[in-house]
Structures are given as structure tokens and as C-alpha cells.
Amino acid sequence: MVRHVVAPVAEIPPGGRKIVSVAGRQIGVFNVGGEFFALLNRCPHQGGSLCLGERIGLVLSDEPGVYRYSRPGEMLRCPWHGWEFDIRTGQSWCDPKRTRVRTYPVAIEAGETLMKGPYQAETFPVSVEADYVVVEL
């Protein structure tokens, strides 16, 4: 596994996202209330650019007419056919076991730490003062 520095933390504020290209793969990096998640930008259904989809909340119900809205911005709606995916797990709502998008571990590292260890950051220089989003794949 190689650790890739994909963006300074400040570039992806809460609610924000960035599509990055890492080792030939398109990956969506999402900030959910300060936590970061990385998903392959390829919908497991038919290959749509899932990570460009609308970020929506999760609505559930135990009874017709009752809408239980939760987790605003934590679901992704695929722009191709509208399937919903959980940004935290990559699972689709309708078929969580079998239909899930590939996820990657994400960490926040201080520039200082990154200076020491092995990492790759092809597109921008890393500075000691900033924090960075690091995706492993």
C-alpha cells in the first residue's frame, strides 16, 4: 500500500469534496463534518461517476407519511441512475451487501510527519506548516 498525499486539509472543508487522480484511478475524497472518506469514482452499478453525485441526507420511515431525515450530506446519489451510497461505508442503500463502491483508508497527516516518511505527492509541494489528506492504496 502506498500513501498518497492528495490535498491540503484546508482545500476540502466540511461538506466539500475533491476528485483526485491517484495511480491512474479517479478517487472522490469527502469531508463529512471533519471526517474524511475516499471512494472510487466509479459506480458499482454501471460505472457512472458516482463521486460527482449530489450529497443528500438519509431518509427512512417505519410508516407511510412519516419521514425520518438524518445524516445530512452523508449519502451520495449516483448521477447516472440515482442509487444512493453511504459515503462512510461505500454501501448502496438498496443492496448494501452486494452493491458497494470501493473505499480507501484516509488519514490526516501533518506536513512535518510527511516530510519524514515515504509518501507520494505528485502535484503540489508539501509544507511543514499545513495538514494534509493522505489516501492509501
Partner 1 sequence: MTVQLRDLGPIDCDVHPPTPRMAELLPYLDPHWREVMVGRGIDGLELASYPPGSPLTARPEWHGPDGRPGGDLEMLKREVLERWGVRYAILNCLHGAMAMFSEDMGAALARAVNDWIAKEWLDRDERFRASILVTPRSPELAVAEIERRASDPRFVQVLLLAAGETPLGRRAHWLIYAAAERLGLPVGIHAGSAFHQPMTSLGWPSFVVEDYVDQATTFQHQLLSLIAEGVFTKFPRLTVVLIESGVTWLPAFLWRATKEWRALRSEVPWVDRSPIEIVRDHVRLTLQPVDAPAEPERLAAVIEELGSDDLLLFSTDYPHWQWDGDDALPPGLPERLLSKVAVLNPRATYRRLAASEPEESVREESVARGIVS
| CA-based radius of gyration for the chain | 16
The option from ligand FES, partner 1, none interacting with 48 (CB < 5 to 8 A, set by class) reads ligand FES
Residues in contact with ligand FES, counted by CB under 6 A, come to a total of 10
The verdict on 48 binding ligand FES (CB under 6 A) reads: yes
The strand order across the sheet containing 54-60 reads 54-60, 68-77, 84-86
What is the contact surface with partner 1 in residues (CB under 8 A)? 56, 59-68, 81-84, 92-95
Strand positions, DSSP E, the chain: 3-8, 17-22, 25-32, 35-40, 54-60, 68-77, 84-86, 103-104, 106-110, 131-136
Cα 21 to Cα 18: distance, rounded to the nearest angstrom: 10
Residue placing its CB nearer to partner 1 in the complex, 80 or 119: 80
**Within 59-78, which residues bind ligand FES (CB under 6 A)?**
78
Q: Should residue 81 be labelled a site residue for ligand FES when binding is judged by CB under 6 A?
A: yes
Nearer to ligand FES, 14 or 47 (CB): 47
- Residue 28 interacts with ligand FES (CB under 6 A): yes or no: no
Cα 108–Cα 18–Cα 128 angle in degrees, nearest 5: 35
Contact of residue 67 among partner 1, ligand FES, none (CB under 5-8 Å per partner type): partner 1
Residues that bind ligand FES (CB under 6 A): 43, 45-48, 50, 78, 80-81, 83
